[in-house]
Amino acid sequence: RRRQRYVEKDGKCNVQHGNVRETYRYLTDIFTTLVDLKWRFSLLVFILAYAVTWLFFGLIWWFIAYSRGDLDHLEDHTWTPCVNNLNGFISAFLFSIETETTIGYGHRVITDQCPEGIVLLLLQAILGSMVNAFMVGCMFVKISQPNKRAETLVFSSHAVVSLRDERLCLMFRVGDLRDSHIVEASIRAKLIRSKQTQEGEFIPLDQTDLSVGFETGDDRLFLVSPLIISHEIDERSPFWDVSRQQMEKDDFEIVVILEGMVEAT
């Protein structure tokens, strides 16, 4: 029968947070919030971050030219404007883009007779560097997330309970499809099921460790070829008092977590 999973087969947690009142906490860690966004929203924020700063400083450059009277002396060659060849908002917007991206001014260039423009140029250069560092950092972290690397880690479709060396064991298999190895790989397993304590307290999603070799060091894997991971069902195992018929009826889930560092990165 189809059961609602706590963790999906692709590794995504099937948990949705509801009734979160202190949403401002997400903004206190804006970097992680942007990294956790979906790609379409991340690209939207990436584009808006640059477009808004270009428009904002373009409007200020146009306002400086307007307040100094540069737009009224476009044909006056004896007049020294703040920015040469700035004749409207479009050219001010282009000058803002050229300043922040350091593309190269061409025939639009700031003069030394505009102290407010020099201050604005310094502010835009500093703010532009901050925007570049922040947004490029977000994109780099988002691209280097291990979600896609996990696609080449394959677990067996089914776990089995069988005898191994005359001991009853719960076993499954894991393998890595890539040639680049996972360094310091370790594995652990959690049993998730509802539990009622002796005092009558009901715990809906109780987590219990399943030993997969922590005492002997077998949980640290040399994942070059597919390996069989084994959990011995002994007196310390939560499955010790569970029969085969009860196991087929019980509603529980086993979550296996494989951790390690990618050799290439």
Q: Tell me the pLDDT tens digit for each residue of 76-101.
A: 888 888 888 888 999 999 999 998 88
Q: Does domain 149-262 have CATH number 2.60.40.1400?
A: yes
Q: Tell me the pLDDT tens digit for each residue of 167-223.
A: 999 999 999 888 888 888 999 999 998 888 888 889 888 888 999 988 888 899 998
Instruction: Give domain 23-144's CATH architecture.
Output: Orthogonal Bundle (1.10)
The pLDDT confidence band at residue 1, using thresholds 50, 70 and 90, is low
Mean pLDDT of 100-118: 84
What does the block give as tokens for 236? 């310390």
Q: State residue 179's pLDDT score.
A: 82
Q: Tell me the pLDDT tens digit for each residue of 169-184.
A: 999 999 988 888 888 8
Q: What ranges do the domains of the chain cover? A: 23-144, 149-262
At position 246, the amino acid (one-letter code) is: Q
Q: Tell me the pLDDT tens digit for each residue of 27-50.
A: 778 888 888 888 899 899 999 999
At position 74, the amino acid (one-letter code) is: L
Query: Looking at beta carbons, which pairs linking 213-216 to residues 24 or more positions away fall under 8 Å?
Result: 214/188
* pLDDT over 70 at 2, yes or no: no
Q: State residue 227's pLDDT score.
A: 92
Contacts of 215 (CB under 8 A, 6+ apart): none
The residue among 123, 126, 121 whose CA lies nearest residue 108 is 121
CB contact at 8 A, 51 and 45: no
Q: How far is CA 138 from the centre of its chain?
A: 8
d(CA 136, CA 142): 10
The pTM is what? 0.66
